[in-house]
Structure 1
Amino acid sequence: MKSITLKEKHRHKLPMGILSMALLPDGVGLVAGCMDGVYLTSIDKSREPKLLYSHDNYVSSVVSIGGDTIVSAGYDGTARWFDLAEQKVTDSVKLHDFWSWDMTASPDGKHLASVTGQYLAGGYKYEPQEESEPSIRVVDVASKQIIHSLPHVPSVQSVAISPDNQFVAAGNLMGEVRIYRIADGELVSQWTTSDFTSWGIIKSHCYLGGIFAMQFSRDGKHLLLAGMGPMRDPMAGNGKQLWQKWDWQAAEPKMIDQTHEGDAGEGLMETLAVHPSGDMFAMGGRLRGGDWNVALFDMQTGDRMAILKLGFRATEATFTPDGKHLVIVGTQGQPSKPKGDGFPDFGRVEVFAIESEAT
């Protein structure tokens, strides 16, 4: 078994809170999706943050396509294409009437998938209303055309595309996962886990929580889910830091593993990242109670391997392509009062070297 240590290498700030990021092929450039737009910066502080363009609302997701194109999605329901060489927005496509909660690109860069949906009570039991628009959109990157509009139950908060580019998975507020084949839009797997959803019996009489992040394993055989365990008072934010690993290809999808007893504190987990080797994964988010808000886990055993207690909400984590570093972005609060000539910077970028030795 390997002993893993995370050693801080770089730390810097951006003017606005960061909700998403994408690394550029040079291994240094970083594109950040922020509350006020999309920034170009770097993981090593060598480039001063530059605001490239904006949406009409928060930018919720950003991806890099081929190293020369950025595609972002936002709470304005649109996806926007930006040419890095020409330094301009080249296309904008309306995907949803409501927010894009999450958007991702296929590994081959040919497809995008975005999810949406607003939770509105559909009856006296506060079950979600049926969707008023398709919850999942799949887009052809080259043509900018929507090729699939797929159903789910709102709100749908997380999306992932399989390593072989063939399947799109989406998870919602109620813990329901649906997986569709991209080639023909056929539903191939579907199940529900109640472990991520809370029914408020104190203060909030409604459903809260859900699946906030998902990632396929490198071999595509398993799907990781992340969020927060149930609470009696969902507004407290003190649910268990939770991941689950599912065999989605089984005739009846089954849970293989989940956060081990004693490994979790309290807080909403918002991001998952699988190491290039496929041997481990990172999970991160908010800290409500405990000693970490980002941790590394062994993919095979589920054992916790390393922890970080950051002074900010981790909104997205990723590994560098060589697997040697873990990059984490997020936001440290949201200033309500200006300081001097403006508001203090509250976007955060931190980079950690992954050091291991056999034990």
Structure 2
Amino acid sequence: MKQLTLNRSIHFKVPTGILGAAVTPDGGTLAAACMDGVYLADFEAQSAERIGTHASYASSAAFLTSQNAVVSAGYDGAIQWFDLETREQRRQVGLHKFWSWDMSVSPDEQMIASVTGQYLAGGYKYEPQAETEPSVRIIAADSGEVLHSLEHVPSVQAVAFSSTGEYVAAGNLMGEVRVWNTRTGELAARWTTPDFTSWGIIKSHCYLGGIFALRFTPDDRQLLLAGMGPMRDPMAGNGRQLWQKWAWQQDEPAKVDETHEGESGEGLMETLAIHPGGEFFAMGGRLRGGDWNVALFNLTTGERRAILKTGYRVTEALFTSDGTRMILVGTQGQPRKPEDGVFPDFGRIEVYELG
């Protein structure tokens, strides 16, 4: 199979690490959720402007083109709306008592889903304590009104809508995935994969890992999951770079495929993106060992098509709507001391041309 090529055409920095991002339909502007706030970045000018802040890190960002707005979520548990013209905040809704780990906007821009939860030991086996607030919330994108409050087991770290917006899926620390009907709030599917979760035999006697990203395939029949394979010492971060694909609409959800043998290194995978053409997907994250931390895979066969070693932690991979470019964002360490009185920029933005 012919390999894909990735040629970097744009690279610039923002002051702090980027934890989540989105791109406009025309591919010209990036919304970046950063440790020090929400930025709009212009690819042509290779510059960025901060338009707002959260009380803690901003963790996710998305465009609401129908409202000419950017919506963001943060570790303060709040969702904020910013006007793209005035750069002013329109609305803020306190959605969670704990962090918003991840946020997703439905394809029709009518709904926003956010997930939360703190892992606390619920017993002597360190199983997670039951949630103290709804782990998944769906709100109306135009008002912030809560439409559904849904139960899960904390911490819930990833959320995604189906291509039609009919379903929303969320994955947690323990590898449990739940899928709900967004119209009724009824549970449509539920299963657990043990392959993303580690029990610390060495140093850390607790659970670590889980599902850090998920995406519905274009036909909505399957779900892609991403994270890291289990380790004896979770603090080492040397689990297998792992994706899995599940057929979730069956009576018993079944694993269809996963990272092929010999095609992975070590490191936590934090992001998934499916190419608009539906032929392949990107997975990216951290590199602990091996020769890549971003790779492209054939969506049908699972074969690896291209690899990148970026030199920094990738927190979000995106494709432009025309499918010609892949955008990567993330963070390259965190400076411990200023240089000439100023901390160096450590948020990274890159654009790659696909060939």
* Alignment partners' CA distance in 1, 2:34 and 2:88: 18
- Whichever residue aligns with residue 299 of structure 2, its letter is M
Corresponding residue for 1:215? 215
1:68-87 equivalences in 2 (<5 Å): 68-87=68-87
The answer to whether the 8 A contact 1:43-1:349 is kept is no
Task: Give secondary structure in 2 for the equivalent of 1:211.
Answer: coil
1:98-137 equivalences in 2 (<5 Å): 98-137=98-137
1:55-80 CA deviation, whole Å, 9 max, x = no partner? 00000000001161100000000000
Corresponding residue for 2:56? 57
* Alignment partners' CA distance in 1, 2:340 and 2:50: 21
- Whichever residue aligns with residue 208 of structure 1, its letter is L
The answer to whether the 8 A contact 2:36-2:58 is kept is yes
* Alignment partners' CA distance in 2, 1:258 and 1:31: 31
1:71-95 CA deviation, whole Å, 9 max, x = no partner? 0000000000001112200100011
Offset, 1:49: 1.1
Corresponding residue for 1:293? 293
Corresponding residue for 2:26? 26
- Whichever residue aligns with residue 58 of structure 2, its letter is V
Offset, 1:28: 0.8
Task: Give secondary structure in 2 for the equivalent of 1:195.
Answer: helix
RMSD over aligned Cα, in angstroms? 0.8
Q: If the length of structure 2 is used for normalisation, what is the TM-score? A: 0.99
Task: Give secondary structure in 2 for the equivalent of 1:2.
Answer: coil
* Alignment partners' CA distance in 2, 1:15 and 1:26: 25
Task: Give secondary structure in 2 for the equivalent of 1:49.
Answer: strand
1:166-177 equivalences in 2 (<5 Å): 166-177=166-177
* Alignment partners' CA distance in 1, 2:229 and 2:339: 37
Equivalences, count: 354
Task: Give secondary structure in 2 for the equivalent of 1:4.
Answer: coil
Offset, 1:218: 1.0
- Whichever residue aligns with residue 196 of structure 1, its letter is F
Offset, 1:47: 4.7
1:135-165 CA deviation, whole Å, 9 max, x = no partner? 0000011121011000000000000000001
* Structure 1 alignment gaps of length 5 or more: none
* Alignment partners' CA distance in 1, 2:339 and 2:33: 23
Corresponding residue for 1:192? 192
Corresponding residue for 1:267? 267
1:241-252 equivalences in 2 (<5 Å): 241-252=241-252
* Alignment partners' CA distance in 1, 2:229 and 2:72: 30
1:276-304 CA deviation, whole Å, 9 max, x = no partner? 01110000000000000000000000000
1:239 maps to 2:239: yes
